[in-house]
Chain A
């Protein structure tokens, strides 16, 4: 690979991923993007629950066409294994012997006994076992049922999302489980680094609600510093720092970015905004409604992308509401090579969003499409663990793979 003589940061790290849906797979994907050999272990037959989660490529509900699954599982290899059968448990032991990390997200009360972190720690002292759950491995809510809206609500994040005169509003796209997944990757990497000096593995308890609650750096001190409850965005006000209608969609006008008010007013283009009363923060609070009306007038003359461009050129920091199509067409993301074309034998070819950051020593590639169910059974069980084809046939007959 050009410019990367030393390989990827997690080259040589092997991680097993068990469970499914979003949080453990996203953690696995991040580790795989940084070079780890991630083996995704799915139950034979049905596979990962995310395979049944829409939307689907071509809106065809097929287990190899789930878009979340396709996105979350690139750069991994995949095997099927029923870890609760005797034969399956034996294979898992053999995989664990060569593994550095196990990431799993079974509910605590449904986790197979062979995956209990304490048992694993005793048998594989070098292993890092990362368990991701909605509420963590302890505490009164440990065994509560949860979906994304429940974790978002209990994390405190949802209370602050949406408008103050309506109910709190969730985001779609499973955000709580993505945030849990990256926090799991952070703590797992910290443990991997520590292990380079100690040789010791450890167990990690990741709680989805706590990962999201860590975003509340304003709402919590609001209460224990001054007894106040911070809520959703006020519906009254000048309209700055809020989504406001422009000619072809929504924009966020902003006074931030260290430029004088006159620059902001000039960009919006309504002469009445060039008023000393509006130049200070307190003035914009006092005369909020007046500004709001002038802002609506000015923004109605602008298209989103033109305004965003003009703002950037004036060192202002306006934003705009972009949809998935806008992002695909974005020249900035294209120049930064964010999208990567991935070809999948069942779902077909598409441009996938890639890695968030760019690292000087990391040549990010989609080395593999999301694995087909059991795609690497022969490669991993046969070529790498040395199972004969007769053994593999027997494991298949027993329902272990």
Chain B
């Protein structure tokens, strides 16, 4: 079947990505996978560069190298599929170029504080006068209104602020080893809120494009990560409104299922989870693990007694799991129809047969100058039958597309480009750069930053 015109959802859509760090850059990468031309507005001045270019790593073989700002694995993951122009926004002429770029674009993504955007004249009312049907996402910690509007934020500190710690925490254990609901909050980590914001921004941009096509109207999206994070915890927050319950910290246990937990397996920091939903799962579980008399033990006869005797139950299950690998636990229990699975780490995931079979990782060929070669990246949780959504190119090198964007797209004369270069408003080499110190991996293990490492590991995708 031949594909009708517009073989990708966002063919012909241009996105100006002014954003930094995690949430919005990642949104831009997804829009690129969907077919948009996404222009990352970079700067070659070290103090203003996207910090994922300089602070995050990880670097190939833990070696930042001369061109370290092109070599960070997290930066590459968050910015694939884009092209790059460097514009130093302190220069009026560069700001004028940016406005010209917005005038031929459909979407702007940004995550500066409200104050900064107004100072540069890049707030929505100003940019709308340049592009009347503009769709713009302004992503901030707390949004463009309300008493906390000028507060800065990072996802790692926002996460408990919007409530996750009320619904996450280890159980308290008393002197006799008895457990009770947890009183200490914990974290999902991994900048959880950044990703909630990224998904939310993608959805808002797509429905705004639908809206614009029908009505000709643009849209300004005031995306407060604090509020977005809270919206994902709605059922817990609503529980307070109905029942006055403020928090529920159950460790790895569950209100109605038991056993329900995370159990140690063979090896260093290896774990598997098990969730027994009902009596039928329980009978299957007892058969599968073959521990004598478990099925007839009156302490575990029904959901209520199992719930009351979880400390004893968890000890028995840990005894069974600890002499098996986490994948063995998965296989034995899943063959019996019981929900169970290994707790996968990064190494496991890259080798896992299911993620492999579904083509979850996509290979990307990098520019020879970066020394990255061909590497694989995680992709997205969905496949569309009618759209060839995939990573089309690596993250751009700093200012890699200056010529194309300034000259071909904007028709800026060579003399003006030369002026911009002379004024250091554009450039392709990071100015004021210092190669970051790399912490040796054995020291990282000591500090607890990494659990373990392999000196020999597959950096290239399997053939």
What's the least CB distance linking B57 to chain A, in Å?
8
Contacting residues, chain A, for B233 (C-beta < 8 A): 173, 324, 353
Q: Of B58, B263, B344, B382, which contacts A211 at CB under 8 A?
A: B382
Is A123 located at the chain interface by the 8 A CB criterion? no
Asked whether, in the complex, the Cβ of B345 is within 8 Å of the Cβ of A321, the reply is: no
Contacting residues, chain B, for A204 (C-beta < 8 A): 382-385
* Chain A residues numbered 101-160 whose CB sits less than 8 Å from any CB in chain B: 117, 121, 135-136, 138-141, 144-147, 149-160
Asked whether, in the complex, the Cβ of B275 is within 8 Å of the Cβ of A202, the reply is: no
Is B188 located at the chain interface by the 8 A CB criterion? yes
Is A233 located at the chain interface by the 8 A CB criterion? yes
Q: How many residues of B contact A (CB 8 A)?
A: 176
Is A312 located at the chain interface by the 8 A CB criterion? yes
What's the least CB distance linking A210 to chain B, in Å?
4
Q: Of A59, A161, A226, A256, which contacts B58 at CB under 8 A?
A: A226
Is B5 located at the chain interface by the 8 A CB criterion? yes
Q: Of B59, B203, B387, which contacts A30 at CB under 8 A?
A: B203
- Closest residue of A by beta carbon distance from B378: A220
Asked whether, in the complex, the Cβ of A321 is within 8 Å of the Cβ of B189, the reply is: no
What's the least CB distance linking A193 to chain B, in Å?
5
* Chain A residues numbered 338-353 whose CB sits less than 8 Å from any CB in chain B: 338, 347-348, 350-353
Is A45 located at the chain interface by the 8 A CB criterion? no
Q: How far is the CA of A216 from the CA of B451 in the complex (A)?
A: 16
Q: Is the interface of A mostly helix, strand, loop or mixed?
A: mixed
Asked whether, in the complex, the Cβ of A316 is within 8 Å of the Cβ of B152, the reply is: yes
Is B94 located at the chain interface by the 8 A CB criterion? no
- Closest residue of A by beta carbon distance from B193: A319
Asked whether, in the complex, the Cβ of A229 is within 8 Å of the Cβ of B345, the reply is: yes
Q: Of B6, B58, B249, B344, which contacts A198 at CB under 8 A?
A: B6
| Contact bitstring A172-194, B, C-beta under 8 A = 1, else 0 | 11110011101111110111111
Asked whether, in the complex, the Cβ of B162 is within 8 Å of the Cβ of A212, the reply is: no
Asked whether, in the complex, the Cβ of B211 is within 8 Å of the Cβ of A9, the reply is: yes
- Closest residue of B by beta carbon distance from A66: B235
Contacting residues, chain B, for A197 (C-beta < 8 A): 4-6
Q: Of A136, A200, A243, which contacts B160 at CB under 8 A?
A: A243
What's the least CB distance linking A257 to chain B, in Å?
5
- Closest residue of B by beta carbon distance from A351: B241
Q: Of A9, A71, A117, A256, which contacts B234 at CB under 8 A?
A: A71
Q: How far is the CA of A347 from the CA of B156 in the complex (A)?
A: 36
| Contact bitstring B157-198, A, C-beta under 8 A = 1, else 0 | 111111111111110000000000000111111111001100
Is A385 located at the chain interface by the 8 A CB criterion? no
Asked whether, in the complex, the Cβ of A224 is within 8 Å of the Cβ of B376, the reply is: yes
Q: Of A6, A231, A320, which contacts B161 at CB under 8 A?
A: A320
Asked whether, in the complex, the Cβ of B459 is within 8 Å of the Cβ of A225, the reply is: yes
Asked whether, in the complex, the Cβ of A225 is within 8 Å of the Cβ of B58, the reply is: yes
Q: Of B275, B386, B450, B457, which contacts A191 at CB under 8 A?
A: B386
Provide a sorted-by-A list of 17 A–B residue pairs whose CB atoms are within 8 angstroms.
Answer: A167-B252, A170-B273, A189-B203, A190-B34, A198-B6, A199-B4, A207-B382, A215-B190, A219-B346, A220-B350, A223-B347, A229-B453, A250-B160, A317-B151, A319-B154, A323-B247, A327-B237
Q: How far is the CA of A323 from the CA of B185 in the complex (A)?
A: 9
Question: B215-223, B301-309, B426-434: which one contacts chain A?
Answer: B215-223
Asked whether, in the complex, the Cβ of B62 is within 8 Å of the Cβ of A231, the reply is: no
- Closest residue of A by beta carbon distance from B270: A159
What's the least CB distance linking A378 to chain B, in Å?
29
Asked whether, in the complex, the Cβ of A361 is within 8 Å of the Cβ of B219, the reply is: yes
Is A234 located at the chain interface by the 8 A CB criterion? yes
Asked whether, in the complex, the Cβ of B211 is within 8 Å of the Cβ of A224, the reply is: no
Is B69 located at the chain interface by the 8 A CB criterion? no
| Contact bitstring B214-250, A, C-beta under 8 A = 1, else 0 | 1101111111101111111111111111111111111
What's the least CB distance linking B314 to chain A, in Å?
10
Q: How far is the CA of A221 from the CA of B59 in the complex (A)?
A: 9
What's the least CB distance linking A401 to chain B, in Å?
28
* Chain B residues numbered 404-448 whose CB sits less than 8 Å from any CB in chain A: 437, 441, 444, 447-448
* Chain A residues numbered 303-327 whose CB sits less than 8 Å from any CB in chain B: 308, 311-312, 315-327
Given contacts A153-B272, A225-B73, A357-B228, A352 and B354 within 8 Å (CB-CB): no
Is B316 located at the chain interface by the 8 A CB criterion? no
- Closest residue of B by beta carbon distance from A206: B382
Question: B82-90, B97-105, B286-294, B333-341: which one contacts chain A?
Answer: B333-341
Contacting residues, chain A, for B166 (C-beta < 8 A): 321-324
Given contacts A321-B160, A336-B224, A191 and B338 within 8 Å (CB-CB): no
Contacting residues, chain B, for A178 (C-beta < 8 A): 232
The 3 closest A-B pairs by CB, nearest first: A221-B73, A234-B448, A319-B157
Given contacts A138-B357, A153-B342, A254-B157, A222 and B385 within 8 Å (CB-CB): no
Asked whether, in the complex, the Cβ of B457 is within 8 Å of the Cβ of A312, the reply is: no
Asked whether, in the complex, the Cβ of B235 is within 8 Å of the Cβ of A72, the reply is: yes
* Chain B residues numbered 5-42 whose CB sits less than 8 Å from any CB in chain A: 5-6, 8-10, 22, 26, 30, 34
Contacting residues, chain A, for B377 (C-beta < 8 A): 220-221
Q: How far is the CA of A309 from the CA of B252 in the complex (A)?
A: 33
